[in-house]
Amino acid sequence: MSNIFTDTFAWLADPQQWSGSSGIAVRLAEHLQYTALVMLIASAIAVPIGLYVGHTGRGRVAVVAVAGALRALPTLGLLTLFVLLAGIGLMPPVWALVILTVPPLLAGTYAGVSSVDRNVVDAARAMGMTELQVLFRAEVPNGLQVMSGGFRTGILQVIATVSVVAYINLGGLGRYLFDGLVLSDFPQMLGGSLLIAGLAIAVDLILALFQRLFLSPGASAKPDRSQPAAVDLTDPVTAEAVVQGGTS
Amino acid sequence: MGWFLANSGHVFDLAGQHLVLAILPMVFGLLISIPLAQFARQNSTLRSVVVTATSLLYTIPSLALFIILPSILATRILDPLNVVVALTIYAVALLVRAALDAFDSVDDDLRQAAVAMGYKPAARFVQIDLPLSLPVLFAGLRVVSVSNISLVSVAALLGIGNLGMLFTSGLQRDFVTEVVVGIIAILVLAVVMDAVLVLLERLLTPWSRASTKPAGGASA
């Protein structure tokens, strides 16, 4: 078995694998581009709705129910369904990914806004802020820690799912897994897998660092131990677990 | 519908394999997480080490993990054991947190009352801590159950038998019905498993029905 590791290492270290149109650099860039595209579309849908629901409290039950139900949808099934119905190309898988990414972002944004101490919100309102000012000057800054948690897990989920997209003839680092599988080229598969795992861990660490450097630690919501033990989507930790629950 | 009826034996067969691959990691995950959480509760350093380490493992995408594990476990790439181990790792990552929260949720006065009544540590854990933390543990288990059932299907990409095979073969044959049947079958499995867990929780925590406020998990 030991030569698998040396073969994989040789594959990863080979400069030829890194350059060219199907080189690691290009695949990595593709992977990040798909991820950015999906996150952009999903955020454009999820953030406004999340802010609205979090601020007004309207539609709370619906958001929790939809997020829960979508969590059970198998990623691979949705991807294949979209490709069969809409054809090969960039957008069908991207829309499938957007559908899978909106719920965690929505839950995260909503949980962030509603995690803010009601006294703070009431105080902001009492000071004469308009509803929009209450939202953007009190609720969003105070809920940012929880929100960024939701985004972190959302991005990780997309990075994970984008590796599956290679199965339907798109690029990204997942290509190495499926090309390797067809050729029974195990070092290539293992090398690709290590790259994907490394990318996910690196992105998570960078986001964690970003969160620590740029967000006020005072705004982090501390779990309230006096609450009864029921777990629901409004709890940031659970929301995160729920968010994570659908990665592939 | 016609395709499903004609192939129901095949679908049920795959569903059975799917269920085994989803349930085994839940059981193993629970068996590992409870002692691990008890161990991590000793002090805050251990606690953050365990939580950080498991959440780091959790960030590894499943498809990559399915391929990395054979080289570590010396298994073949088609071995279902890889899937069981990978999903057990994810289950532990989620359940350790749930178990830590669950044990935290037990009122300390109750623990002290149990000690005062002469409970030995082991008996106290089994008869007081564990039953009282069941609602939070079950909430965690329900999350793991849904995510496992969805994740197992990814293993079909490598040729490991489960309902995800309906997606891969549906795509190859350009046959939408098969994919739709697969999605519905997986959703049904997830709903049934969730209902079983809710029922199990109700059976194991008869006292929670007596109180006015349900203590069960609210996450669907």
* Phi, psi (degrees; rounded to nearest 5) at B118: 100, 15
pLDDT higher than 50, residue A230: no
Give me the mean pLDDT over the B141-162 stretch: 89
ipTM: 0.79
pLDDT higher than 90, residue A103: no
Give me the mean pLDDT over the B166-176 stretch: 89
Q: For residue B213, name the pLDDT band (cuts at 50, 70, 90).
A: low
pLDDT, tens digit (0-9, with 9 covering 90-100), for A105-156: 988 898 889 888 889 899 999 999 999 999 998 898 888 888 888 888 889 8
pLDDT, tens digit (0-9, with 9 covering 90-100), for A161-214: 898 888 887 888 988 988 888 888 888 888 889 999 999 999 989 998 888 887
**Considering only residues 8 to 47 of chain A, which have any Cβ-Cβ distance to chain B shorter than 8 Å?**
8
- pLDDT score at A218: 63
pLDDT, tens digit (0-9, with 9 covering 90-100), for B35-84: 999 899 888 899 989 988 888 888 888 888 988 898 888 888 888 899 99
| Residue A77 to residue B136, Cβ atoms within 8 A | no
Give me the mean pLDDT over the A71-76 stretch: 84
> B91: which chain A residues are within 8 Å (Cβ-Cβ)?
none
- pLDDT score at A226: 39
Q: For residue A244, name the pLDDT band (cuts at 50, 70, 90).
A: very low
**Which of B71, B149, B150 is facing A190, going by the closest CB pair?**
B71
**Considering only residues 59 to 98 of chain A, which have any Cβ-Cβ distance to chain B shorter than 8 Å?**
64-65, 68-69, 71-81, 83-85
| Residue B104 to residue A167, Cβ atoms within 8 A | no
pLDDT higher than 70, residue A220: no
Most A CBs within 10 A among B41, B47, B58, B63, hence the mutation to make, goes to B63
- pLDDT score at B212: 52
Shortest distance, CA B147 to any CA of chain A (angstroms): 5
Instruction: Look at residues B142, B129, B89, B48 and name the one whose alpha carbon lies nearest to residue A231.
Output: B142
- pLDDT score at B211: 58
- pLDDT score at B55: 83
Nearest residue of A to residue B177 by CA position?
A: A81
Nearest residue of A to residue B132 by CA position?
A: A229
- pLDDT score at B35: 93
pLDDT, tens digit (0-9, with 9 covering 90-100), for A31-43: 999 999 999 999 9
| Residue B176 to residue A164, Cβ atoms within 8 A | no
The answer for A59, left when phi > 0, alpha when psi is -120 to 50, beta otherwise, is left
- pLDDT score at A233: 41
Confirm or reject contact between A200 and chain B (CB < 8 A): yes
Residues in chain A, overall count: 248
Query: What average pLDDT does the structure give for chain A?
Result: 81
Nearest residue of A to residue B72 by CA position?
A: A1
The span from the CA of A110 to the CA of A65, in Å, is: 13
Q: For residue A20, name the pLDDT band (cuts at 50, 70, 90).
A: confident
- Name residue A106's amino acid: L
The span from the CA of B19 to the CA of B23, in Å, is: 6
> A228: which chain B residues are within 8 Å (Cβ-Cβ)?
105, 213, 215
- pLDDT score at A2: 57
- pLDDT score at A61: 84
Higher pLDDT, A15 or B171: B171
Contact A157, B147 (CB under 8 A): no
Residues 6+ apart with CB under 8 A from B158: A181, B66, B67, B77, B78
pLDDT higher than 70, residue B179: yes
Rounded to two decimals, the pTM is 0.82
> B156: which chain A residues are within 8 Å (Cβ-Cβ)?
76
| Residue B62 to residue A248, Cβ atoms within 8 A | yes
- Name residue B82's amino acid: N
Q: For residue B141, name the pLDDT band (cuts at 50, 70, 90).
A: very high
pLDDT, tens digit (0-9, with 9 covering 90-100), for B91-125: 999 999 999 989 988 888 988 999 999 999 889 98
Least confident of A13-17, A192-196, B27-31, B151-155: A13-17
Quickly list DSSP for B61-79.
-HHHHHHHHHHHHT--TT-
Nearest residue of B to residue A78 by CA position?
A: B183
Shortest distance, CA A197 to any CA of chain B (angstroms): 5
Shortest distance, CA A48 to any CA of chain B (angstroms): 23
**Which of B167, B187, B217 is facing A76, going by the closest CB pair?**
B167
| Residue B167 to residue A186, Cβ atoms within 8 A | no
Give me the mean pLDDT over the A233-239 stretch: 41
| Residue B56 to residue A164, Cβ atoms within 8 A | no
